[in-house]
Amino acid sequence: MLLSDLQTKDVINMRDGNNLGRIIDARVDSSGKINYFVVEEKKILRKVTRGSDMTINFEKIKKIGEDVILVEL
């Protein structure tokens, strides 16, 4: 699977069902292991905020489905 494939999926928190947004980047170490994903938070009512990106450790991802990525935060 390519990073571009993951970028089309919504990231959903399993604990409360919130849509956290979509993956916009990934941090990979020198051995090729993904450390974390950078998620651009979903804008509510088109309100634009700066610096609202969040990081999600790869270990927090529980399931990658066809349309969504489920995480446990």
Task: Find out if CATH 2.30.30.240 is the number for domain 3-71.
Answer: yes
pLDDT in tens, 13-30: 999 999 999 999 999 999
What phi and psi values does residue 28 have, to the nearest 5 degrees?
-120, 135
pLDDT of residue 46: 45
Tell me which of 46 and 4 has the higher pLDDT.
Answer: 4
The Cα–Cα gap between 52 and 44 comes to 12
Provide, rounded to the nearest whole percent, the portion of the chain with pLDDT above 70.
85
pTM of the entire structure?
Answer: 0.78
Mean pLDDT within 41-62: 73
Kindly state the helix (H) or strand (E) to which residue 6 belongs, with its residue range. Answer: helix 3-6
Sorted by where each begins, the domain ranges of the chain are 3-71
